[in-house]
Amino acid sequence: MDGNGRWAKRRHLPRVLGHQRGVEAVRRTVRAGVELGLSALTLYAFSTENWRRPEDEVSALMGLLKRFIMADLEEFASNNIRLKIIGDISAFAPDIIELIEQARARTADNTGMVMAIALNYGSQDEIARAARAAAAKGEITPETISAELDTADLPPLDLIIRTSGEVRLSNFLMWQAAYAEMLFLDVLWPDFGREHLEEAMAEYARRERRFGGR
Ligand code: FPP
């Protein structure tokens, strides 16, 4: 969800306002994802590297996350959405951890779209944790590592969308991306909406996936 800062800067607004508008884009995208029948939607909200941002920006992001979960939980629940977190949230403040656990429990039996939020997430960290867990149980193979990833219960990754014109993965779902399609859009995240998701799905449908075969 890249481009919140640039969206704000172009308007001579504080970065935090860009993140606030980013949350509105999250709402639009989650609603559209449910309506368009996605089985899972994973949002990269906070990376293992984002702790390096100024303290006030980190705490603003935490506040937005908290408010988002509190304000929207009933809507998730009534839309049959299951909330899942990928990443290691043990570093978060106890009140946020508790809120996340409550939201997870409240939506645990839902069978519709999985909304996975990546928090304190980094692909390298995830793969290292999975490899340690696989090693502790025995053999290290692609299958045993996959089974220990945070995404183990999610469907295979079909499409990665990165906004704001950056053309790199930045430590997001690198293992899972082995055969995923990728789409890099110039739109800044706060401007992202249903029409972009629909266009992305149409583009995905046009691609021919061969998974290394022919
Ligand atoms: C990247 O834009 C965005 C982030 C680091 C934070 C994304 C978080 C949210 C949209 C809000 C919280 C999340 C949820 C799920 C409620 P940037 O700041 O790197 O923008 P820039 O590249 O233009 O500077």
Give pLDDT tens digits for 58-105: 999 999 999 999 999 999 999 999 999 999 999 999 999 999 999 999
| Mode of pairing for the β-strands spanning 159-162 and 181-184 | parallel
Residues with CB under 6 A from ligand 1: 1-6, 19, 22-23, 26, 43, 45, 50, 61, 64-65, 68, 117, 164
pLDDT in the model for residue 83: 98
Q: Which residue is closest in CA terms to ligand 1's atom 22? A: 3
Q: Can 50 be counted among the known catalytic residues?
A: yes
87 Rama sector, left if φ>0, alpha if ψ -120 to 50, beta otherwise: left
pLDDT at 4 over 90: yes
**Sequence-distant (≥ 6) Cβ neighbours of residue 167 within 8 angstroms:** 184
pLDDT at 32 over 90: yes
pLDDT in the model for residue 144: 98
Per domain, the residue ranges of the chain are 4-204
pLDDT in the model for residue 210: 87
pLDDT in the model for residue 214: 80
**Strand, helix or coil at 181?**
strand
Question: What are the helix (H) ranges across the chain?
Answer: 4-10, 15-35, 55-78, 94-107, 123-137, 142-146, 194-206
Q: Please name the fold of domain 4-204.
A: Undecaprenyl pyrophosphate synthetase (3.40.1180)
pLDDT in the model for residue 208: 86
CA of 208 to the centre of ligand 1 (A): 31
β-partners of residue 85 are 117
> pLDDT (tens digit, 9 = 90+) per residue, 128-185?
999 999 999 999 999 999 999 999 999 999 999 999 999 999 999 999 999 999 999 9
CA of 5 to the centre of ligand 1 (A): 7
- Mean pLDDT, residues 50-65: 97
pLDDT at 209 over 90: no
CA distances from 34 to 2, 7, 11, 95 (A): 22, 26, 31, 28
CA of 2 to the centre of ligand 1 (A): 6
Q: Which residues of 29-60 are buried (b: 16+ CB within 10 A; e: fewer)?
A: bbbbbbeeebebbbbbbbbbebeebeeeeeeb
Closest ligand 1 atom, residue 43 Cα: 15
